[in-house]
A and B are shown apart, each in its own frame.
Chain A
Amino acid sequence: AQSVTQLGSHVSVSEGALVLLRCNYSSSVPPYLFWYVQYPNQGLQLLLKYTTGATLVKGINGFEAEFKKSETSFHLTKPSAHMSDAAEYFCAVSTGGGNKLTFGTGTQLKVEL
């Protein structure tokens, strides 16, 4: 069984401030972990993923995440928020390539001037 918990359904930051979106997972096998972004009425765009190897993963648009097995976490960060980062963010876990994804409940990121 696998599950994802995203703490904070809404996060608000000032433009230029650090973005931190939290994700904790549960998996009975080594997980594949993903962060996706969704803009209104659109599909999901992959920001970054962890499968194996380096635990610090860099993605698109300046985002990165670190896989911490001891903490079962995969938090998403960005040093400096931009207005265009305002969107819904989903953390997801799977047990391997081609297996189904389980999503967290999502975090709505708001960026204020």
Chain B
Amino acid sequence: GAVVSQHPSWVICKSGTSVKIECRSLDFQATTMFWYRQFPKQSLMLMATSNEGSKATYEQGVEKDKFLINHASLTLSTLTVTSAHPEDSSFYICSASSSGTGGAYGYTFGSGTRLTVV
């Protein structure tokens, strides 16, 4: 079945530094990838949608200069949290779908990245 690998699983960084999170579709081509943020005991909040080779579309209220998303290939998307601050600490999850088969794959999710900014 469809598999999405997200790396790293957890990361601790110092305030002011940048962190990159990778999301790879291992056995299918992901034309669209989604990045979510999840606070403790809460639902997933969509941050942005990225299509391969295009600029990401950010949801209202999400700072595009702070959360840089790159989707340079059909199997890799990255989220970079720039100049991280403690309030950016959260659980970040990526999801991938394939054009025309999104329903079939059901939006495969990565295992998430726990970011802690100290």
Q: Is the CB of A32 within 8 A of B103?
A: yes
Indicate whether B31 reaches chain A with its CB closer than 8 angstroms: yes
Q: Is the CB of A94 within 8 A of B102?
A: yes
Q: Is the CB of A101 within 8 A of B107?
A: yes
> In the bound complex, how far is the Cα of B106 from the Cα of A45, in angstroms?
10
- Option from A43, A51, A102 in Cβ contact (under 8 Å) with B110: A43
Q: Is the CB of A105 within 8 A of B42?
A: yes
A64 → B minimal CB distance (Å): 16
Q: Could you tell me how many residues of chain B have their Cβ less than 8 Å away from some Cβ of chain A?
A: 29
Indicate whether B99 reaches chain A with its CB closer than 8 angstroms: yes
Residues of A within 8 A of B4 (CB): 43
A97 → B minimal CB distance (Å): 3
Interface of chain B residues 88 through 104 with chain A (CB within 8 A): 91, 93, 95, 97-104
Q: Is the CB of B112 within 8 A of A41?
A: yes
Indicate whether B44 reaches chain A with its CB closer than 8 angstroms: yes
Q: Is the CB of B109 within 8 A of A97?
A: no
Indicate whether B49 reaches chain A with its CB closer than 8 angstroms: yes
Interface of chain A residues 62 through 93 with chain B (CB within 8 A): 90
Q: Is the CB of B99 within 8 A of A98?
A: yes
Indicate whether B13 reaches chain A with its CB closer than 8 angstroms: no
Indicate whether A17 reaches chain B with its CB closer than 8 angstroms: no
Indicate whether A28 reaches chain B with its CB closer than 8 angstroms: no
Residues of A within 8 A of B106 (CB): 34, 46, 49
**Chain B residue with Cβ nearest A44:** B109
Top 7 closest pairs, chain A to chain B, by CB? A97-B102, A98-B102, A51-B103, A43-B109, A97-B103, A44-B109, A43-B111
